[in-house]
Amino acid sequence: MSELTHLDDQGRAQMVDVGAKDETQRSATAEAVISMQPDTLAMIVDGKHKKGDVFAVARIAGIQAAKKCPDLIPLCHPLMLSAVNVELEADTDNNQVLIRATCKLKGQTGVEMEALTAASVAALTVYDMCKAVDRGMIISQVRLLEKAGGKSGNWSRTA
């Protein structure tokens, strides 16, 4: 028998049955970083991109991505998210945009994948909007920072 919950006894993929689990308050926060040329970051920060407000579009894309997570990730449960927050911050010292996404709900399964998807798609949107001026951008450090709730309790990267 596999220890992976998405595989049955014969090793076949399955959606985990969460029906018997208690509903609890759950949240997860993930981040992504996108590095770029100083001029590209300045263009974003100064609001001089001809396509518009890069951070606003990336924020909306991240929120939509969290809501569409089960359409993108096989075996991911459709969830009734109660909140999705996507924050983008310019780090001019390192020529990067720091993206942090937090998802919340009261439910029977966690929201880690939704938070990771939101951060990833927000970073991809920054890349998409800015690729005409900087094809060398690098998306990195897509990772879970913390999760709360559920049977396994709380977890933090810093703990």
Q: What is the mean pLDDT of residues 84-102?
A: 98
**Gap between the Cα atoms of 159 and 152, Å rounded:** 15
Q: Which fold has domain 24-146?
A: Alpha-Beta Plaits (3.30.70)
Positions annotated as catalytic residues are: 128
Only one residue has tokens 């709380």, namely 154
The whole-model pTM stands at 0.90
Radius of gyration for the chain, computed over Cα atoms and rounded to the nearest angstrom: 18
- Answer yes or no: are the C-beta atoms of 52 and 64 closer than 8 Å: no
List pLDDT tens digits, range 35-74: 999 999 999 999 888 888 999 999 999 999 999 999 999 8
Domain regions of the chain by residue span: 24-146
List pLDDT tens digits, range 6-24: 667 777 777 676 766 778 8
Query: Is the pLDDT reported for residue 1 higher than 50?
Result: no
Least Cα distance to 90 among 55, 115, 129 occurs for 55
Tokens matching residue 76: 């991911």
